[in-house]
């Protein structure tokens, strides 16, 4: 169904999805999946294990699971070429950068995780702000609103 046939759709009808948009959606979805899995692991360990503070472990796990919704919804929106999805995807990457920095400053096995997270966040940001991605999502620059027939 094209954008003309479905007035509620904000996705432009411009042929195949660009590879940059697909890659940005994949990286954003990967981050969301990592948050979801990490939250589930923390929650299960908090409920079944012997944490120092069970309430803190459960709260941390639930928080990560809820936070996973933002990048997962953004990734789905990017795949569907929804213009609203770029904002939450960019916010996800911006939030990931200080987390990566803290992991890099750790004196532990978290350093490789920080390297991977920084690389993923920077790559996704570059893909998300790319003009090809903006055009594919129907986002115009200042004073340059794309045609919505």
113-136 confidence digits (pLDDT tens): 999 999 999 999 999 999 989 989
For residue 55, the enclosing domain spans 19-136
Residue 7 lies in a domain: no
Q: Which two tokens stand for residue 136?
A: 């594919």
Residue 148 lies in a domain: no
Lowest-confidence region among 106-110, 125-129, 143-147: 143-147
Residue 10 lies in a domain: no
pLDDT at 3: 43
**14-25 per-position pLDDT tens digit:** 678 899 999 999
CA dist 91 → 63, 66, 82, 97, 123 (Å): 17, 15, 16, 10, 14
70 or 2, greater pLDDT: 70
Residue 3 lies in a domain: no
109 CB neighbour count, 10 Å cutoff: 8
User: Model-level pTM?
Assistant: 0.81
């Amino acid at each position: 169904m094209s954008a003309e046939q479905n007035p509620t759709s904000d996705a432009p009808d411009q042929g195949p999805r660009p590879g940059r948009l697909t890659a940005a959606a994949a990286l954003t979805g990967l981050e969301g999946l990592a948050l979801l899995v990490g939250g589930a692991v923390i929650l299960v360990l908090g409920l079944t294990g012997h944490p120092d503070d069970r309430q803190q472990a459960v709260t941390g796990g639930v928080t990560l699971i809820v936070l996973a919704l933002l990048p997962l919804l953004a990734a789905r929106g990017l795949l569907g070429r929804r213009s609203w999805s770029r904002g939450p995807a960019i916010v996800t990457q911006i939030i990931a950068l200080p987390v990566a920095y803290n992991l890099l400053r750790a004196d532990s096995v978290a350093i490789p995780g920080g390297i991977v997270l920084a690389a993923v966040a920077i790559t996704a940001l570059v893909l998300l702000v790319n003009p090809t991605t903006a055009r594919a999502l129907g986002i115009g620059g200042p004073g340059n609103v794309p045609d919505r027939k």
